[in-house]
Each structure stands twice: as structure tokens, then as C-alpha cells.
Structure 1
Amino acid sequence: MDAARVVEVWSPAVGMVGSGYLLSERLVLTSYHVVPGLERGAPVEVRPLSDRAEAPWTAARLSWPEQPVDLDAHPERDAALLMLDEPHRVGGDVRFGRVGGQGRTPCLGLGFPDAEARPDRRRDTMAVRGHLDALQARRSGLLTVHVDEGIVPRRRGQGSGWAGSSGTALFCGPLLVGVLATDRDVADDASVLGAAPISALAALPGFRETLAAHGVELRMERAAKGERRLASYLAAARNAAVEHPYDGVLPGSAPLLDAVYLDQRVGRRAAELADDSGPVRASSAASARTRSITSSKAGTARRTDAAPGPARPSTPCWPTPARP
């Protein structure tokens, strides 16, 4: 999941708020019940997530679906695509996946629920951390999300603390697998949610074509626990890149060798240097029956016995790493 692609959605015509995710520079995936009954081309507003100054609202229009959706009959179709009037810069491609098998798959999403609403009604972010349970409510057509990590909003007498999170993109590792759609009242707290699966949306008329028109390839991959392990490994690598003394863990961040390693010289022992106080070439030391010392500017030294042998052309020695 790329937090820079997360957006808020505001539908002034119906007074609904929600969340969404940029699939490309101009295409946003959200929930259909955030824009219910609107005709194609109807105006909507979108605001990208920003960690600095609050970003302005951007004009957008409903691009898909072309016809109204009966969510009572087809809850798995609770998704919509919005087209921004102006592009918003994003990097890389979005990958899509499907959840199979009978196990529980870790998932993650980021939205703007009412539980994080400020006194001025502006909403902040809240993560959806948990697992997708492939065996729960299979007949509903929805993905069941068990929020068993992080914070869960309190159950309310009216409405849901998750309201405003509708449209949140759910990821299993790097794969987008669903769109958050509903708070399922099947637990004492608000820890069970439902999501429209991307695999169901892919079969609907116009969905794949709309993505393709914006340069988004809808190729389904299988989501597995291994994807989460890979994501955890990459996260650990990024942390190590910050803590490592030479900041050389991630590609492109390694320092120059001359900043890490020090030059060496090879010299004879003091007793053998009575008639020659200068350093000698490594090739000369290797060809003589003598004991030598390899030292660096950092003060490290290694005592070696040089075996006799034929002289070799003078070549640089492998340097000794400097101490951190």
C-alpha cells in the first residue's frame, strides 16, 4: 500500500463522505455507496492525503459504473471509479490480487473514519489492520475482514465509527484485493468488516475497460502470507538503511568505496628496515622470505608470513574496512 495514493472523497450531491485510492494519476477507486444513484459524469470532490499542509479538494467525476447498482441484491458490487479533472502525481503500478484457500490472510488499509473526526469535523486517518477470513460469510460475496490488530472504534448506538472509511483499499502485501464496504454487526465490538473483492469487480461490465483507458492493467495474482513476509522484510531493510552506519542497505544508497575503506601499505618489520625505511610494494613483499605488516590509516594492522614465489605485476590490494 502506498499512503501517497490514499484520498478522501466528498459527494456534495448526496452529502456522503468516504475514502479512496488512486489507481493512476487520474483514476480513483472508492465505494459505490459513497456516490449512490449519481449519473456518470456527476461531480465529486477528492482530497489526497498529505502529511504537510492540508491538500485542497480536487474536482472529479463519476466514471464507473454506468448504471445504478442494487447493493441489497449485489453487495459485492459496492465499488466506483472516479476520474480527476487534473492529474495527481503517483509512482509505480498498482497490483491486484485474489484471496483463496481456507486460511486467514493478513491485510492492511488506510481510510478516514468518523472515529478520527476532529471537533471541526475534519477527519484524520485510521489504519485497518487484520486478516481476511476466507471461510467467514462465503455466501455474502464479500470478503470478511477481522480487525484484530491496532485500534478498533467503539460500537455506537447510531451509525458506525468506521463511517467515512468506505472505499478504503485493502491490501494483502503488495496486492490490492478489496474495497471496504460495510461494518458487519456480528461482534460485540466493531472488529468485523466487509469488503467488495476485486475479483468480483473484474467480472463486471466496464470495470476492466475503464482501468485500461487509464493505463491500469488488471492482472489478478494470488494473495498469500508470503507476500506479507516479503513486505515485512522490505520494511526491515528500510529501517536498517536508516540505522546502518554507512546507509548502504537499499539499492542506490551505498556510499562510495573511498568513503568506507582506507588505503593500505605493506612494510617490513622494524628490524628488517634498518637499511630501508620506506614502504615496499605488495608484490615485492610476496616474493621475498620476510615477515610483513599490513596497516591502514585507521591504525589497524595484520601480521602475515609472506610465502616465497615468483614476482607478480603490481596490483592494488584489497583494502581493510575502516572502523565505524
Structure 2
Amino acid sequence: MPTTVERVAEVWARQADASWSSGSGYLIAPRLLITSTHVLSATGRPEPGAEIKVRTASRTRLWSAACTWSSADPTVDVAVLEITDDDWADPPVAPVRWGRLASRRAEVVCQASGFPEVLAQPDGVRERDQAGGRVNPEAGAKQRRYHLQVLNPPKRRGAGSPWAGMSGAALFADDLLLGVVVADHQGYGGARLLATRAEALFAEPGFLDAITAPAVLEPADLARLFSPPADRRRPRSPAALLRADAEAVRWFTPRDNELARLVGWCSTDEIFDARLVFGAGGLGKTRLARQLVAHLRREGWVTGQVVAENAATLPEEPLSRLRACDRPLLLVVDYAETRPDVVRRLIENVGIDDGGAVRVLMLARSAGQWWQRLTAKSDLMEYALELAELHPLTALPTRTGARETAFREAVVDIAAQLHRVSGLQETRWPDLAAQVAPPDLGGPGYGSLMRLHLSALVGLLQAGPAPAAARSRTPHEKVLMVHENRYWRRTADTVGLAFLSDDTLRNTVTIATLFGASSKSQAVALLSHVLGLRDLGENELLVVHQWLSTLYPSQEGEWGPLEPDRLGEYLVGTHLREWPDLINEPLAAASPTQLHQAFHVLARASGDHPHVGRLLKEQVVGQLARYGPIALQVVIETEQPGYLISALEDGVAGASASDEATLVALAGSFPTGAPALNLLVEPLTRLAISVYGRLTGEGRTNYRPELARAWQNLSDHMREAQRHEEALAARAVALELYRELTGRGSAAAGGAFHAS
């Protein structure tokens, strides 16, 4: 949250001798400001009813205010003001995010904006100044203050401070409010400002009640690594309320046992530990992790959900601070199966055998081959993850009572939020909650927490003033998509895209959900390949890009997918049935990162939409050189590998002698060991045998060791599956290959196998 001009304020207070004192302040929420207590009263105790005036940076008028809280501890020296003037027009500001410095490493870039007297003009009007500099976290810790070493400080003249009037300014690091400036350190000649730390304020009786909005302390020097505690932005569409980070629905208490297990895991004496929580989409993995993060943050842990799409986008500066955290550290990586390189970089930077407690929690759809490859990346990864526990998250209890309770709670909670959605403000949604009847919750589909929330949302929308035409058995996803389509149409019309058809809008959101974009130029390039947008100029494509950014804002890219995942996969599945050629041009133009995301979404969607799997297979078989290595990578990571395995088998079988480079690229993508996911062992190993065999047969003898190892892996798998004849046959082939490599009769070759 930026320190906008409109939030920075002058604060004036009439003293007992009728003179006026002045200082600075900052608007932390509508009508609420924070400042220094001594600005209000030289005694440090503001008098009830004292005359206080406030002027924000961009206005000329002074507004009346009153002190609603001040610290009883004079060393804290902070107060909260409320603007009481009836004519005050609240600027559109969200509550601030509060922070603390979590790392002991020095040199954190910070800034504070205020109105020092040194910048007063002849007419008395003051200019705003920005005091920029660096903070060393350990300096001032005993007094619970931060020391801002100011760059280019004003020169001291006489006995007074050149910073007089700066008291009360908010100190920020990476857009998190760290504290409030209260003094100029006399020993540094105006080059060091002192600020009361936010954690000192949070410990003061009554402070959190005074600021009214829910508040947590986030690790400001690590903030760029993590997603915010909750997305408090106004939801742009009904579907936005289903996102885990919207926190629109209360915690699902039947998961308390799962939460307790994770809390217990964090509480052990181990210095470093890792855990993988895996399960199908919609079971509540992300919600569980967010609940754990909130719990541990209250216990003083440094924690958050890492948002980087890949290792290259991990911000280096906060990454380098992880090893120096002053408290226990929990890092959460969602979609870990698609981001193993992010997990690796984090573990490399936290230090696993020194310092305080470190926990790495990974969330994934499956514990497949990607997990084994991650542990085999290096000696460090093997050591770090060899004892990591795999924690499957199962469906909700089959007893319908628990599901009905969750459904009813979701209806009530979502009804309380729907008025915030654009176009739905006029309806009294809580009054409709009692009209929403639960569906038959006994079916397996309602073992998903997301499914319960989706049903609750659709039930409310259908009880509202503009229900979608639907039969009783129409899928909830289809009904919600009708409401989302209305949202697309309404917002597109308001930004000058009324000329785009509904089909084009749907095409655009489908492609955005599949591919994503990491930069504005990449976004525009992708949109230029969308059916219905191809003939638009760059300016119009930029408008479409901005429309998408408003629809589904993202912390990681230019815009996000339609979420939750199940809804995005439903859109992809249903729309590609009608428009199967829609993905051809975008796939051909996509970057490797975009292809990786698209293949994951297509593979997941194929579970409920087989035609998507067939489309995916056609693409891989038809362009094995381009898509083969990415398909193999996604096979290792996804819980829906079937169509991709089949596509790779057909593609390799149909490859001609001229496709040697393609086979070499595939060969370099295979894991070195047998797959950990039993479903993949035989098909993936046979695929490896096919690729290595083709290359060996075409004179690439350097692939003989890989071919021998693949036959050995197949033999081991057959033996464990009690398929002894097949195991012996595979063993014989492997043994012959090893003998060719090491010399006939080599004991080393024969000793590589277990007895069958």
C-alpha cells in the first residue's frame, strides 16, 4: 500500500498557553490518523477536548479532530486521532498493513513523510518532505524504537532540531508501516530519526481497538516474498468470494485436528523440517495453510505464503535475509509440484542446520515423481527432505451433518459479503440466506470444501433478483459462469470494449486462465493471438489487458486466472469443447513458462473433460519437438498424467529418424530413478526405454547407461509387483547391456540387481 500524498497530514494542536504546536500524521484508515503524542501536548498527556486540527497534504483546509487513544507509556509517545469534522470527505483508502523487521541483517531501506519546520515557507505553509534512509534492525531494540539513518539530512542550526515538525510521521519499509517518528537523535546531528516500533504499539492496551480494522504484524523486510494475510480489496465478481485469500467464509472447524497436527509439527525441537500436504483441488489445502500461518504469526513466528511463480522471480534481497530471521520461520509454497525450483531456492537460503527453527510447508495436488526429483536435486535437498512427512488431505467426512453445517456457515458468510461485489450492492443478501436450501450433500462431490462454498454462492445468487435460467440439475459451475459472464459484459462495456462479443470475452478469459502473463509486453503479445482480438491494434489490446487486470488482479503476474481452480478448469473444459482451435495460436506463441502453466491447467481439466485431454494429446503428438519436454515435466508434476503419457508414447513411436534432436531433448528430461508415484512407474519407464533405445539404435551409444538403468528400474518394479517372469526378462536385458558396458561376466554388472 503506497504512502499516498493524501494520507500524509499536518497535525496542529492548541497548547495550554494558547499557542499552537505542529507535527505530522498519517491516515491509517478513513477518518483515523496516527501521530506522536507530544505533538498534541508538551506534557505527553493530551487534555480531553483539546483543539486539534488536521490538514492532508493535497488540501488547504484544516479539519477538526479529536484524540481517541494515546499511550500511557511516555516512551511510546504515539496517539490515534479521529477526524470529527462533519464536512470531511473520506478519501478512498484501505486500512494500512503493519510490519516489523524480522531479520537481523542490517541496511533495510525505509522512508517517512512529514512536514518539518525547516521547509516552512514565508507564509507559514509547509512543504512535505521525505526522509529516506536505512534502518539497522538491532539498533534501538531495548527502547523498542527503530533508528532511521537519513540520507542527505538537513543541517542543524542552533539548539533546535532541524526535524521539528516531523514527529508523528509514519515510517515505512516495502509499503508496511513499521512505526511512528517520535524524536531526532541528538548524537547524530540530524542524521538519525527515532521511531516507536509497531510491535510496541500492538502491545499497548487499547491500541488495536482504537485503530478499528483487523491488524497483524507482517515481516516488512520479507514482504516481497509473501502474499498479504488477506485480500481486503473489494471483490470484483461473485467468484472472487470463493478464493482462499478473500477469507469470505469462516474457518472450517472440523479441520481443527489437521491444524493441530501442523501446529504440533512446528512445535518440535527440530531445527529444520519440511512437510508436504497433498490432495485433490478444493479440499482446503490453501485454507489450512493460511490458518496455520495466522496461528503461528500470533505466536510470534515469521511466516507467509511464498508467491513467486518460479525461482527466477524470487526477490533476491529478502531471500538473502531468511537465514538471519530473529524468530522461528515458516515458509508455505502452494502448487509446489509446479514450482520445485522455488522450494529448492528457499531451502538453500534458510540454512537447515543452524539458527532458529525453520519449517517449509509444501502444498500440492499429488506426491508424485516431482517430489522424488526434488529430493534428488542435490545432497542438500536429499538431506533436507529425506525425513519430510507426506500428509494426505482427505475429503470431508461423509456424515452430512458436518457438511450441512459448513454449507449453512458459507451461506451466512457469503451473504454478508455479496453487497461488496460490483452490481450486487442493492440487494439485502443476508435476508435471502434463509431461503437457500442445501443440495443433497451426501454425494462424493461434496467432500470438497470448495464445492460446498460454490453451492452456497450459487444458491444465494439464484435467490437474488437476477437468477440465471437453469434446471435443478444444472452444474453449479455452469450457473456461476452465467453470473460471471454478466460481470465480464458489464465491466467490458464501461471501459470501451462494448464492441467485443460475449464469445470474444469468454475466449479472452479462457486464454488468460490457461497461460497467464509475467509482463505487460508478454500480455499484449498473447492477447494478439486470441480469436476475436487478432485484428485489434496495440492500443485496444492494452485496454483489454487493463480490463483483465481489473477482472482478476494477481500478485504474481499481470493478471490472474479465473479462480478457484475448479471454476477455471470448468471454463477451459466447456469452452474448448465449443472452440477446440482456440488454443492453437496461443500455444504456438507462448513462452516456456506459459506452456508449463497451460499444460498443467489442461491436464487438470482433462479429469472432468476428456475432450481436453484429447486436444492436449493431439498437440503433443503433432509437435513433439516443441511440447514433448514440457509434457514430460508436467507428467512428473500433475495428478492427471494419463493423456500426456499416452501422447508421449504415441509421439515417440511415430518419431522418424530425422527427429533425433527431439528424442535427445526428451532423453534429457527423464528422471534418473524410478518414479515414486506407482501409477507412473511402468508407463514412464517404458517410455524412457523407448527413447533411449531409439537413440542407441541410431548410433548414440552414450545413452546405453541410461537404457540399462531404465531396464533395471523396470525389472525392480515388476519384481515388487510380483510379476516375476516379466521381471526376469527385463533383468536379462539390463544385465546384457551392463555387460556390454563393463565387460562380459563383470561382477559389478551382475551385482547391480536384487535376486528375484
Distance apart, 1:91 and its partner CA: 2.4
The DSSP-based 3-state class of the residue aligned with 2:10 is strand
Per-residue Cα deviation, 1:2-38 (whole angstroms, up to 9, x for no partner): 2221111000235210111111111100011101232
Decide whether the 8 Å contact of 2:173 with 2:220 is kept in 1. Answer: yes
Say whether residues 1:180 and 2:177 are aligned partners: no
- Counterpart of 1:111 in structure 2 is 114
Please, which of 117, 125, 128 is the counterpart of residue 125 of structure 1? 128
Alpha-carbon distance between aligned partners in 2 of 1:64 and 1:5, rounded to the nearest angstrom: 19
- Counterpart of 1:93 in structure 2 is 95
- Counterpart of 1:290 in structure 2 is none
Decide whether the 8 Å contact of 2:167 with 2:181 is kept in 1. Answer: yes
Please, which of 203, 214, 217 is the counterpart of residue 217 of structure 1? 214
- Counterpart of 1:259 in structure 2 is 536
AA of the residue aligned to 1:185: Q
Alpha-carbon distance between aligned partners in 1 of 2:55 and 2:522, rounded to the nearest angstrom: 32
Say whether residues 1:137 and 2:140 are aligned partners: yes
Alpha-carbon distance between aligned partners in 1 of 2:162 and 2:174, rounded to the nearest angstrom: 25
Indicate how the Cα distance of structure 1 residues 175 and 314 shifts in structure 2: closer, same or farther if over 3 A, else same: closer
Say whether residues 1:22 and 2:12 are aligned partners: no
Distance apart, 1:87 and its partner CA: 4.8
Distance apart, 1:249 and its partner CA: 6.4
Indicate how the Cα distance of structure 1 residues 55 and 227 shifts in structure 2: closer, same or farther if over 3 A, else same: farther
Say whether residues 1:55 and 2:60 are aligned partners: yes
| Structure ranking higher in helix proportion | 2
- Counterpart of 2:158 in structure 1 is 157
Per-residue Cα deviation, 1:155-212 (whole angstroms, up to 9, x for no partner): 121211111111000111021010001000122x311110011110111111111112
Decide whether the 8 Å contact of 1:41 with 1:63 is kept in 2. Answer: no
The DSSP-based 3-state class of the residue aligned with 2:80 is strand
Alpha-carbon distance between aligned partners in 1 of 2:147 and 2:580, rounded to the nearest angstrom: 69
Decide whether the 8 Å contact of 2:37 with 2:46 is kept in 1. Answer: no
Give the length in aligned residue pairs: 239
Indicate how the Cα distance of structure 1 residues 157 and 83 shifts in structure 2: closer, same or farther if over 3 A, else same: same
Indicate how the Cα distance of structure 1 residues 41 and 211 shifts in structure 2: closer, same or farther if over 3 A, else same: farther
The DSSP-based 3-state class of the residue aligned with 1:201 is helix
Alpha-carbon distance between aligned partners in 2 of 1:6 and 1:250, rounded to the nearest angstrom: 36
Distance apart, 1:135 and its partner CA: 2.3
Decide whether the 8 Å contact of 2:11 with 2:25 is kept in 1. Answer: yes
Query: What TM-score, normalized by structure 2, do the two folds share?
Result: 0.29
Say whether residues 1:33 and 2:38 are aligned partners: yes
AA of the residue aligned to 1:55: T
Alpha-carbon distance between aligned partners in 1 of 2:210 and 2:89, rounded to the nearest angstrom: 16
Decide whether the 8 Å contact of 2:179 with 2:197 is kept in 1. Answer: yes
Compute the RMSD of aligned alpha carbons: 3.2
The DSSP-based 3-state class of the residue aligned with 1:21 is strand
Which structure would you say has the larger RCO, counting Cα contacts within 8 Å and 6 or more residues apart?
Answer: 1
Distance apart, 1:43 and its partner CA: 2.7
AA of the residue aligned to 1:100: A
Mark the runs of 5 or more structure 1 residues left unpaired by the alignment. Answer: 233-246, 262-312
AA of the residue aligned to 1:169: A
AA of the residue aligned to 1:48: T
Per-residue Cα deviation, 1:43-82 (whole angstroms, up to 9, x for no partner): 31000111xxx421111111112x7x453xxx2x110000
- Counterpart of 1:84 in structure 2 is 83
Alpha-carbon distance between aligned partners in 2 of 1:202 and 1:34, rounded to the nearest angstrom: 21
* Percent identity between the two aligned chains: 31
AA of the residue aligned to 2:22: V
- Counterpart of 1:283 in structure 2 is none
AA of the residue aligned to 1:167: G
Indicate how the Cα distance of structure 1 residues 219 and 248 shifts in structure 2: closer, same or farther if over 3 A, else same: same
Per-residue Cα deviation, 1:273-301 (whole angstroms, up to 9, x for no partner): xxxxxxxxxxxxxxxxxxxxxxxxxxxxx
Decide whether the 8 Å contact of 1:25 with 1:87 is kept in 2. Answer: no
Mark the runs of 5 or more structure 2 residues left unpaired by the alignment. Answer: 226-313, 318-518, 539-578, 590-756
AA of the residue aligned to 1:30: T
Indicate how the Cα distance of structure 1 residues 260 and 38 shifts in structure 2: closer, same or farther if over 3 A, else same: same
- Counterpart of 2:600 in structure 1 is none
Alpha-carbon distance between aligned partners in 2 of 1:32 and 1:49, rounded to the nearest angstrom: 20
Alpha-carbon distance between aligned partners in 1 of 2:8 and 2:32, rounded to the nearest angstrom: 12
Alpha-carbon distance between aligned partners in 2 of 1:182 and 1:197, rounded to the nearest angstrom: 13
Indicate how the Cα distance of structure 1 residues 23 and 124 shifts in structure 2: closer, same or farther if over 3 A, else same: same
Decide whether the 8 Å contact of 1:169 with 1:179 is kept in 2. Answer: yes
Distance apart, 1:99 and its partner CA: 1.7
Alpha-carbon distance between aligned partners in 2 of 1:44 and 1:217, rounded to the nearest angstrom: 26
Query: What TM-score, normalized by structure 1, do the two folds share?
Result: 0.65
Distance apart, 1:251 and its partner CA: 9.6
Alpha-carbon distance between aligned partners in 2 of 1:161 and 1:124, rounded to the nearest angstrom: 14
Alpha-carbon distance between aligned partners in 2 of 1:142 and 1:118, rounded to the nearest angstrom: 31
Decide whether the 8 Å contact of 1:8 with 1:112 is kept in 2. Answer: yes
AA of the residue aligned to 1:9: V
Alpha-carbon distance between aligned partners in 1 of 2:521 and 2:133, rounded to the nearest angstrom: 29
The DSSP-based 3-state class of the residue aligned with 1:34 is helix
AA of the residue aligned to 2:536: A
Alpha-carbon distance between aligned partners in 2 of 1:182 and 1:257, rounded to the nearest angstrom: 59
Indicate how the Cα distance of structure 1 residues 257 and 143 shifts in structure 2: closer, same or farther if over 3 A, else same: farther
Alpha-carbon distance between aligned partners in 2 of 1:226 and 1:132, rounded to the nearest angstrom: 16
Distance apart, 1:248 and its partner CA: 5.0
Q: Which runs of 4+ in 1 moved over 6 A?
A: 249-252, 313-317
- Counterpart of 2:195 in structure 1 is 195
The DSSP-based 3-state class of the residue aligned with 1:209 is helix
Alpha-carbon distance between aligned partners in 1 of 2:49 and 2:581, rounded to the nearest angstrom: 71
The DSSP-based 3-state class of the residue aligned with 1:89 is coil
AA of the residue aligned to 1:178: G
